[in-house]
Structure 1
């Protein structure tokens, strides 16, 4: 059995270099950010006021520029840089932590008794607790490193600021708020992203395990010569579906923190911290304000998570096949 087939069949621990995981994360994150930028921009516009519908926000965006189509990709560069580098840092950190956890008896998931046990994964098998912790810590770290780009991205997408360039946005933030301005909303971001990422990894692995047991036959002998290609295609489909389902579920749970974070980053004087921002939003606009942009965020997160994890796992699988 080839290494790629073994990885599919048994979820073999990946021993590839951190550079490979960085490049795979960078590529998958950047592609997803570019494709899904309109969802991100509309979510920011809806969340900034709490009163506009998605349709009204889309109308405003289309009217804001002579080129209506290009207007929906405003902020793509900071978004792609932030998401691409963020995914690279996240996946690299997550891989290092998961490799270490896989060597710990209490963290590694016991391998199934049958060597032909089906799985679509090429990543380490860990317990739910280990997946939760490694996912949360990796995301919190990546979020801190990328926070300045996140603030610039959100303000660049908003129509509350008239920034003409990324450099101009950075200069204005530093001039008016100094270094703390680049980390506005990190508390809400960490509270949103760390649990989200931990729950996401647990959900992703559990859904993937269930779908694999349903759709990947346990015995490779049941297939003909085309079996490796069929397995690769089926694994990609399972990983994409698992990423979409896990992303939508976790987005619903964490949306209030995302709505609060957006207000803090756009209007730091009116919403100075997470507690006061949440209280002000609920008091003035009701509980509904915490779920502004929910449909857009669920759609974007489901699609971006599905694309990122499917591409990441496939790039790792194919690179390992070539290298080994």
Structure 2
């Protein structure tokens, strides 16, 4: 991206955007996979000493904090435990990155043709980001659900492989089983990505003029700040999505045995608030922000760098 404030719509061919988006998603996911597993374990944990036994005859919380959760997973499941669900997650991130950046580029190009009724730049970014996020989320949602279920498994495996998990869900839960919690996911991602891109496009031009930023570049710094703000605002829906994703016949077989039965977004939100208070909607927020910041920095830096390299290669070849 140029430092002059132009949008993604003006930069890169469709092929370049697809390649840059896919590479950005692939690299970003691998880097933050351990934090993602920790986040999912904490989001699924029910904090109440009166709850049924959760795991290994432990009543109440199994994990206490980000570092202790990571240490517990390493001790009980080995280092590979921190990358559980990485195959469906990598597939999801690559597909998501391709769809997201392509849709964002296409939407902003379409919005730029609305003269004399063109929206303000920040509103264009919000609309394009929301549309791109909603489309990418709905398209890749089954992979997101599989990622969550694999990450929720402890030492006792429910699914032995990606193929077996697909067959098992299709057989026991039907096609709808792959879309448990999809309403919460789309309801979260549309405002999340709208806020993210609107903030990112506003911050990137001024930040690009500063040297020696803590995250290495204006693109990365803008991505971190935008991600933290948007993630905090929309986190309750992300937690609800995770709780709904592990519903079904395998609900009581995961690392947390005491996950309640939830039905629908509002029912889930109401039940969590009644039993755990408002703070129950923010379980795992700290590690989520630890994950979101580097993930967004790596994603946006990789995307921008890859796109520039692809453009330079094309110019050199012509």
- TM-score, normalisation: structure 1: 0.81
Indicate the residue corresponding to 1:220 in structure 2. Answer: none
Distance 2:76 2:164 in 1: 20
**Aligned 8 A contact 1:30 1:84 in 2:** yes
Indicate the residue corresponding to 1:43 in structure 2. Answer: 39
Indicate the residue corresponding to 1:128 in structure 2. Answer: 122
Shift of 1:74: 1.5
Indicate the residue corresponding to 1:20 in structure 2. Answer: 16
Q: 1:106 to 1:167 in 2, by over 3 A?
A: farther
Shift of 1:205: 1.1
Shift of 1:99: 1.7
Distance 1:311 1:172 in 2: 36
Q: 1:41 to 1:299 in 2, by over 3 A?
A: same
Give the match's secondary structure for 2:10. Answer: coil
Q: How many residues align?
A: 285
Shift of 1:106: 5.3
Distance 1:315 1:139 in 2: 21
Distance 2:283 2:215 in 1: 35
Deviates more, 1:242-251 or 1:151-160: 151-160
Distance 1:242 1:10 in 2: 13
Distance 2:16 2:207 in 1: 27
The yes-or-no answer on 1:29 pairing with 2:37 is: no
Indicate the residue corresponding to 1:149 in structure 2. Answer: 143
Distance 2:11 2:44 in 1: 44
**Aligned 8 A contact 1:101 1:107 in 2:** no
Distance 1:244 1:147 in 2: 24
Shift of 1:58: 2.4
Shift of 1:314: 1.9
Deviates more, 1:169-178 or 1:29-38: 169-178
The one of 95, 99, 114 aligned to 1:85: 95
**Aligned 8 A contact 2:5 2:201 in 1:** no
Distance 1:238 1:135 in 2: 19
Shift of 1:236: 6.6
Distance 2:32 2:5 in 1: 33
Distance 1:276 1:47 in 2: 17
The yes-or-no answer on 1:101 pairing with 2:96 is: no
Indicate the residue corresponding to 2:188 in structure 1. Answer: 192
Indicate the residue corresponding to 2:233 in structure 1. Answer: 253
The one of 293, 297, 303 aligned to 1:312: 303
Q: 1:234 to 1:61 in 2, by over 3 A?
A: closer
**Aligned 8 A contact 1:107 1:130 in 2:** no
Distance 1:185 1:27 in 2: 27
1:50-69 matches, within 5 Å, as 50-51=46-47, 52-54=63-65, 55-65=67-77, 68-69=78-79
Once superposed, which parts of structure 1, at least 4 consecutive aligned residues long, lie more than 6 Å away? 233-236
Over the aligned positions, Cα root-mean-square deviation in angstroms equals 2.5
Distance 2:38 2:101 in 1: 27
Distance 2:290 2:117 in 1: 32
Distance 1:31 1:79 in 2: 11
1:210-221 matches, within 5 Å, as 210-212=206-208, 214-215=209-210
Shift of 1:275: 0.7
Deviates more, 1:259-268 or 1:97-106: 97-106
Indicate the residue corresponding to 2:50 in structure 1. Answer: none
Unaligned runs of 5+ in 1: 110-125, 217-229
Distance 2:4 2:22 in 1: 27
- TM-score, normalisation: structure 2: 0.83
**Aligned 8 A contact 1:45 1:159 in 2:** no
Deviates more, 1:151-160 or 1:246-255: 151-160
Q: 1:235 to 1:205 in 2, by over 3 A?
A: farther
